Structure 1
Amino acid sequence: MRHEPALRVPALPDGGPGPGATRLLAELERRCLDLRTRPGAARIDPLFARLDDFAARAAELIEHLSDPAGPQPQARRAFRQAHVDLGKVFIDVERLLALPARLGISTVRFSDEMLAATALMALMAPLRADADRLHAVLSQEVRALLHPGVDDPIEVQLADAGCADPVNAAQRLRGWRIAPTDRDAFDALLPGLLARLGQSRDPDGMLATLDIIVARQPADIALSTSLRALIELLGDAPGLSPSLIAQPALIRRLIDGSASAPLPPPADLDTEFGHLIGLDDRQAGPSRIARTVEAHRFGLGLRLIERTADPLDLAAAHARLAEAALRAIAADALARMREDHGAIPGSDLVILALGPFGAGALTSQSRLDLAYLFTGDRETRSDGRSPLDADAYYGRAAARISAAMATLHPIASWQPPCPVEGFDAEIRNPIALSRARPVYGPDTARTAALAAMRRGLAEPCGIPRRKLASGPYDVERVRGGLAELDLAVRLNQLGHHAGVDPKLRTAVGAQVRAGLLDPAAAGAHATLVRLLMVFDLLSPGGGEPTPEQRPTVARLCGHDHWDGLEADYGAARVIVQESWRAAVARTMATNG
């Protein structure tokens, strides 16, 4: 016997007996065509655009009903989102047409076209009812095909949201501990949760993530309180879910707002990380730093979602966070080496950041490229009870540092440490050196490293090969993307000694002022970095943003609509490609 649902949900629209989705679609299209021919229809063009999209998505889904493979998840998501978007436009149009009456504006002041458009108000309700009826009936037909026999209200809505196993998904919801005093608040949130699941690219994955977070959250936090924050957050930013799973206590900071505080300045980060790594259990020091870095990253992600910081500044903040962690971890690794093997007289370690790390802009998933150098003679041995020569000494230190940093970011394969004096011979790649900057080591050692880098930058530079992009939204590697802009800037640095700075944002600005880059290049760089940061948070697995994600992507990048962002992205790529071609032409002319 089926048990009564433990959760209360709103009544479902009854598809009931009557015409099927195909006939309802035809009726909706007939009514739209009639409305288009009415005077004043031009005033509500946005509504017709959404109606066309909704009808096209419905037709695609109806066609899938006869496909042996059945309706595809992408088609189902697109249909659901088209219905949501249509509902928003209905509200906007009805508000627009009713505005003069609400303000008490006399119709004498209306143009004939506006008067005619206002007269269409009476036709809005039947048209919207037709669209809602089509959505309900077609959803029912899809559900009957994919999940025959499902009639429990919760299971029905989970099936309509796209869950592959609505019965198991409902069991997850029923398994959540809900205090009696929290029941009404939770039930009020349930429709929003189901709607968010329906907008997700992976509703089963989102629900499973919520299930883990809910199970681990502190017991004194009401489920409705945490869900209110989690539903919107995980719907917009699935990339933040690993932080909440690993550190459930972050939910408390999410609720009270303290998690989205700005990143502390470098000196404060040094103090914080130095304290963490110096506690009694030194072996756990890097793990404590990793957890703290994760918490700071969570805050940076919140600031992006809440639009309290520019994604450009957040990319720089991720780099500063990695640098602070590296300083603490490197200092601890060298302290341990001194305890075990003593110090090497007249020698110091220098760590260079290369690639995006050197360029001063990271995402949460960026790879760290590090180069380890040391000053002094490589034959000199340490003065402790178990002496090592410089190669072995700094090799062990570098291995410890890289292993600890790998808990924060992926680490590029690194070469064994080499003497500063031989670095320019080891790295015969001026492009790579132009992005390098010292991020650890005493000032004297950094100065020696910079001198070696300058010698390496004087080497002849060829035209580097570009890597293939995985798709049109692979913002780094796509033609006209960030990697191409970076290469254009580095060629200009090497050939014209203008804007010589490893940090790409600074170098772009300097080269614009020097006339080597189009003035629009700074804006193009900003557009690309913002997209990279937003995709890192919204689509951590990569790939093109779904139709459901596009409004959020546009909003976080500072645009009102996806079309505007897409146009801006296209223009940025054109500017970068032109900058790349100009830089290559100048380099070839210089090289003869």
Structure 2
Amino acid sequence: MKNTVYDQDVADAAARARRYSPFLALLLDREPALAADFAAGVLPALSALDLGEPDAPAPRRLRLVRRRLALRVAIGDLAGRDDLSAVTRALSDFADHALDTAIRTAIAERTPDAEPRGFTAIALGKQGSRELNYSSDIDPILLFDPATLPCRPREVPEEAAVRIARRVVEILQTRDGDGYVLRVDLRLRPSPEVTPIALSVDAAISYYESLALPWERAAFIRARAAAGDVALGGRFLEAVAPFVWRRALDFGAIGEIRGISRRIRDHYAQGQAFGPGFDLKRGRGGIREVEFFTQIHQLIHGGRDPALRVPDTRHALSALSAAGWVDPSEAVALRQAYTLYRTIEHRVQMIEDRQTHTLPSGAALDAAAQLHGVADGAALLDLLRPHVVATARSYDALDPDEGDALSFDADHLAGQLAAAGFDATDVAAQRIAQWRGGAYPALRSAPARAALEAVLPGLIAALGSSPDPQGAIVRLDRMLARLSSAVNFFRLIEARPALGRLLGLILSHAVTLAEDLARRPELFDGLIDATALDPVGDVGALAAEMTSRADYQSQLDYVRRVVGEKRFALGTQIIAGAADPLDVSAGYARVAEAAICVLAEATIAEFSVTHGRVPNSELIILALGRMGGGALTHASDLDLIYLFTGDYLAESDGRKPLGAVLYYNRLAQRISAALSVPTASGPLYEIDTRLRPSGTQGPLCVSLDGFARYQRESAWTWEHMALARARPVYGSAEARAAVATVIDAVLRGDRPARNITAEASAMRAEIAVHKPPLGPLDAKLLPGGLVDLEFAVHMVQLESGHGLDPDLRVAITALIAAGKAPPELAGAYDLLARLLVTLRLVAPDAQVPGVATQDLIARALGMADWPTVVASLDTNRQDVSRWLAQVEGIAA
């Protein structure tokens, strides 16, 4: 006698099954041993299930296994001993086993001595995500490799693969007195109306890379190599992964999924009203809407975040919640709803072993409810109703009704625009009419105009609620005029309304960013990522992100794409009020330093293929100016000096050797080009090397010894002032330290004796003549602006040896601490630097902007309003001018 504990729930479940499910009652009669266990309150472990007749032919053996497994899983489910995950995993594992057995059997029947290789099944749908229900069919794609598929003599692989596939379907679908194994649906394969039921792997890859429809992308979220030659299937999935998970997503796929949902709702209208007859799968607020809600978010964000590439619906919701894309409470509600729907779906399918998803009516609904363990149909509906309502609400928020479309009637449209916030509605209406008429190339196709109509209501609402609706729509018009294609851009705004509001802010305020966006619309894709408004990482992390394993030219393109995204996102942080402009300025500098490091490494590696390396020598890149101080603006160029260590008479060791001086000068030219020359992905940085020894008359790259000698013996005062903001940004730690030692010695007095103040003052006066302020807000060139502040700081640094740090903010703090500068200079620098960084985005001409942008500037500077900004600017400029005059007077 078995040593088991009686489980009343198991016995009760078996009794309910016999009473309310004709199908399970039949199985209990045909499996008396299992029935006896259940009646005795015993639930055998799945691993201990007697599968019987191991020597029977494979088709019969699979049918018997399926029957016993279905009965055992159903009773464990009804008894509450197996949760939904355990149930669907057991059914899915059996489907994998059955499909694999069928493939092996089909190959063995045709070529008995051959290894079962070269034929694989890619599971899609619920088998792919291991979420099969009791009566699910399976939706595999059958693929083969002509090079390894076993064939009979004189048989071509294509014919052999089709015959194997037909036999696989026959083994699984044929019914006899023992039932059947699985229903098989092969219609999810590429172009099923014209393609054979088994495709070569290469043909399938070619299809998905070039011809696939958008909805097929969603189908592959749940794809898995499930049976047959699983390694072959894995290689196929790896090859098509870029098709599924795109970094810059084609948002037409999102519209396609939504279109499927709408068509389902229309086609199954009779199953939409909640109550008896409600379609749990296709009904409004049902299973499909949970799945589509999840897959839409996965497609949007999964290209950038591999953690979201989860096939199981409930686990995917958890991942989306953890990543911040779905509200945690909403994710919990959708998981609970999905669990309940699938459980009740199982109850309905248990009754007659039918692939149905519809709640029955009348007595049949009561029976399904009682099979589940609740009193009657009304109680079952009460259990489901709140979940259906909540799911429909979540999905409708993602896919709003189309009743808010903008009117084509001029009067009605004017009213809609006025309600949205536009004062001059005629200007906005004229722009919209131009767009609708296909005035620009990007809007001439039918898909583009359809995408425009889909997004117009939300976009106009976003622009209308922005501080400057008129300016925003004019800038959007300029942007659309320059786009080559507008479809993806509109689909992105449609999928993420919050980005539409952010676009309104950018177009209202940031001419610089709007121009960037017009040139490279894909920059906006980067704002999908929740981290886009967070500080950028350190230089190491940024460099790792910019590094590509592709060839040299592709690396140049890749760095430009990443830098463009980072700079655009950093500028957007200021517009969105998400970051201090000083932090953004430091972020710009870290991005630039990472780009320098990555492209220097790539260029050196490329250069060394031909010319080798110079033994016991290396390149150093020294940054000066704002880059040296680690405080760039959106428009900053990079002031760089190239140096090299070691013997200048040495020679490189490559197949085309060069002397060290020629080697490093050519290499420096290549690196400057890598950092500045526009590629297919656009420009990168303007590079200024005029601060090198002897200026434009000198070599581009000099030895460290030559640099040290020049600085000690020949450099002018302005060059030593520039050296005060010098910082090595590329080179080994030892090389950087060697350069820093030279710089420190020069700044502390190892240089020609000169009248620093007189020379600096004369140079400042010359700058004032040749580079007057751009406008009344030029924080850099106005009297008492940043240039005056920098001149004063550098004069005191060179005269006193205090505050020798390339970061101007740190240097000023040190000078204040040493009593060499008044305390108010720290606040003056912060104000001027914040203003400069912000104005480079919103008023690059340094003219007073509109009222709305004035408010943005005040917020960025941490001030209450625009008058406070103006007053503070005047006060701080006076402080700087006063100190500059004092420095000149004391030193004189």
Task: Please name the residue that 1:435 is paired with.
Answer: 725
> Shift of the alpha carbon at 1:301?
1.7
Say if 2:526 and 2:565, in contact at 8 Å, map to a contact too: no
C-alpha offsets along residues 543-567 of structure 1, whole Å, 9 cap, x if unaligned?
A: 3323442122112211121001111
* Counterpart mapping for 1:135-154 below 5 A: none
Q: Could you say if the C-alpha distance between residues 228 and 432 of structure 1 is closer, same or farther in structure 2, counting changes exceeding 3 Å?
A: closer
Matched residue of 1:371: which SS?
strand
> Shift of the alpha carbon at 1:514?
1.1
Matched residue of 1:221: which SS?
helix
2:873 to 552, 564, 569: 569
1:261 aligns with 2:531: no
Q: Which residue identity lines up with residue 619 of structure 2 in the other structure?
A: L
Q: Could you say if the C-alpha distance between residues 565 and 198 of structure 1 is closer, same or farther in structure 2, counting changes exceeding 3 Å?
A: closer
CA distance in structure 2 between the aligned counterparts of 1:309 and 1:167, rounded to whole angstroms: 36
> Shift of the alpha carbon at 1:228?
3.6
Say if 2:482 and 2:519, in contact at 8 Å, map to a contact too: no
Q: Which residue identity lines up with residue 684 of structure 2 in the other structure?
A: L
Matched residue of 2:641: which SS?
strand
CA distance in structure 1 between the aligned counterparts of 2:665 and 2:470, rounded to whole angstroms: 46
* Counterpart mapping for 1:18-167 below 5 A: 161=424, 167=430
CA distance in structure 1 between the aligned counterparts of 2:597 and 2:461, rounded to whole angstroms: 48
> Shift of the alpha carbon at 1:442?
1.5
1:411 to 677, 687, 704: 687
Q: Could you say if the C-alpha distance between residues 251 and 452 of structure 1 is closer, same or farther in structure 2, counting changes exceeding 3 Å?
A: closer
> Shift of the alpha carbon at 1:455?
4.7
Say if 2:472 and 2:507, in contact at 8 Å, map to a contact too: no
Say if 2:455 and 2:493, in contact at 8 Å, map to a contact too: no
1:477 to 745, 769, 781: 781
> Shift of the alpha carbon at 1:163?
8.9
C-alpha offsets along residues 435-489 of structure 1, whole Å, 9 cap, x if unaligned?
A: 1111111223223323332454333333242223222211111111111111111
Say if 1:364 and 1:409, in contact at 8 Å, map to a contact too: no
C-alpha offsets along residues 241-274 of structure 1, whole Å, 9 cap, x if unaligned?
A: 244345544434435634213201222112222x
> Shift of the alpha carbon at 1:401?
1.3
CA distance in structure 2 between the aligned counterparts of 1:443 and 1:254, rounded to whole angstroms: 35
1:444 aligns with 2:734: yes
CA distance in structure 1 between the aligned counterparts of 2:500 and 2:706, rounded to whole angstroms: 57
> Shift of the alpha carbon at 1:210?
4.8
Task: Please name the residue that 2:859 is paired with.
Answer: 555
Q: Which residue identity lines up with residue 241 of structure 1 in the other structure?
A: A
Task: Please name the residue that 2:94 is paired with.
Answer: none
Q: What is the aligned residue count? A: 436
Percent identity at matched positions? 33
Q: Could you say if the C-alpha distance between residues 337 and 502 of structure 1 is closer, same or farther in structure 2, counting changes exceeding 3 Å?
A: same
CA distance in structure 2 between the aligned counterparts of 1:471 and 1:182, rounded to whole angstroms: 39
> Shift of the alpha carbon at 1:340?
0.9
> Shift of the alpha carbon at 1:190?
2.9
C-alpha offsets along residues 199-248 of structure 1, whole Å, 9 cap, x if unaligned?
A: 55686444221555681535743548353432223213232224434554
Task: Please name the residue that 1:370 is paired with.
Answer: 640
C-alpha offsets along residues 482-526 of structure 1, whole Å, 9 cap, x if unaligned?
A: 111111111111111111111101001111111111111111111
> Shift of the alpha carbon at 1:353?
0.5
Say if 1:155 and 1:169, in contact at 8 Å, map to a contact too: no
1:520 to 824, 832, 840: 824
2:554 to 259, 278, 284: 284
Q: Could you say if the C-alpha distance between residues 509 and 210 of structure 1 is closer, same or farther in structure 2, counting changes exceeding 3 Å?
A: farther
Q: Could you say if the C-alpha distance between residues 230 and 388 of structure 1 is closer, same or farther in structure 2, counting changes exceeding 3 Å?
A: same
Q: Could you say if the C-alpha distance between residues 516 and 190 of structure 1 is closer, same or farther in structure 2, counting changes exceeding 3 Å?
A: same
Q: Could you say if the C-alpha distance between residues 201 and 165 of structure 1 is closer, same or farther in structure 2, counting changes exceeding 3 Å?
A: closer
1:300 aligns with 2:570: yes
Worse-matched range after superposition: 194-203 or 156-165? 156-165
C-alpha offsets along residues 527-554 of structure 1, whole Å, 9 cap, x if unaligned?
A: 1111111111212454332344212211
Matched residue of 1:283: which SS?
helix
Say if 1:319 and 1:357, in contact at 8 Å, map to a contact too: yes
Matched residue of 1:488: which SS?
helix
Say if 1:160 and 1:198, in contact at 8 Å, map to a contact too: no
Q: Could you say if the C-alpha distance between residues 431 and 229 of structure 1 is closer, same or farther in structure 2, counting changes exceeding 3 Å?
A: closer
Matched residue of 2:688: which SS?
coil
Q: Which residue identity lines up with residue 514 of structure 2 in the other structure?
A: S
CA distance in structure 1 between the aligned counterparts of 2:505 and 2:544, rounded to whole angstroms: 34
Say if 1:239 and 1:538, in contact at 8 Å, map to a contact too: yes
CA distance in structure 2 between the aligned counterparts of 1:493 and 1:219, rounded to whole angstroms: 54
> Shift of the alpha carbon at 1:164?
8.3
CA distance in structure 1 between the aligned counterparts of 2:426 and 2:555, rounded to whole angstroms: 42
Say if 2:473 and 2:507, in contact at 8 Å, map to a contact too: no
Task: Please name the residue that 2:797 is paired with.
Answer: 493
Task: Please name the residue that 2:663 is paired with.
Answer: 393
Matched residue of 2:620: which SS?
strand
Say if 1:524 and 1:575, in contact at 8 Å, map to a contact too: yes
1:583 aligns with 2:583: no
1:349 aligns with 2:608: no
1:359 to 629, 646, 654: 629
CA distance in structure 1 between the aligned counterparts of 2:734 and 2:454, rounded to whole angstroms: 66
Task: Please name the residue that 1:221 is paired with.
Answer: 492
CA distance in structure 2 between the aligned counterparts of 1:285 and 1:327, rounded to whole angstroms: 12
Say if 1:350 and 1:446, in contact at 8 Å, map to a contact too: yes
Q: Could you say if the C-alpha distance between residues 360 and 188 of structure 1 is closer, same or farther in structure 2, counting changes exceeding 3 Å?
A: closer
Query: For the aligned residues, what is the CA RMSD?
Result: 3.2
Say if 2:624 and 2:727, in contact at 8 Å, map to a contact too: yes
Matched residue of 1:350: which SS?
strand
Q: Could you say if the C-alpha distance between residues 309 and 404 of structure 1 is closer, same or farther in structure 2, counting changes exceeding 3 Å?
A: same
Worse-matched range after superposition: 487-496 or 308-317? 308-317
Say if 2:599 and 2:671, in contact at 8 Å, map to a contact too: yes
> Shift of the alpha carbon at 1:396?
1.3
CA distance in structure 1 between the aligned counterparts of 2:431 and 2:509, rounded to whole angstroms: 24
CA distance in structure 2 between the aligned counterparts of 1:447 and 1:258, rounded to whole angstroms: 34
Say if 1:342 and 1:387, in contact at 8 Å, map to a contact too: yes
CA distance in structure 2 between the aligned counterparts of 1:486 and 1:200, rounded to whole angstroms: 39
1:230 aligns with 2:477: no
> Shift of the alpha carbon at 1:381?
1.5
CA distance in structure 1 between the aligned counterparts of 2:428 and 2:664, rounded to whole angstroms: 54
> Shift of the alpha carbon at 1:379?
2.2
Matched residue of 2:889: which SS?
helix
Matched residue of 1:353: which SS?
strand
Q: Which residue identity lines up with residue 538 of structure 1 in the other structure?
A: V
CA distance in structure 1 between the aligned counterparts of 2:608 and 2:644, rounded to whole angstroms: 15
CA distance in structure 2 between the aligned counterparts of 1:361 and 1:181, rounded to whole angstroms: 41
Q: Which residue identity lines up with residue 446 of structure 1 in the other structure?
A: R
Task: Please name the residue that 1:171 is paired with.
Answer: 434
Q: Could you say if the C-alpha distance between residues 565 and 339 of structure 1 is closer, same or farther in structure 2, counting changes exceeding 3 Å?
A: same
CA distance in structure 2 between the aligned counterparts of 1:523 and 1:456, rounded to whole angstroms: 29
Compare CA radii of gyration and give the structure with the larger one: 2
2:814 to 501, 506, 510: 510
> Shift of the alpha carbon at 1:184?
8.5
Task: Please name the residue that 1:251 is paired with.
Answer: 524
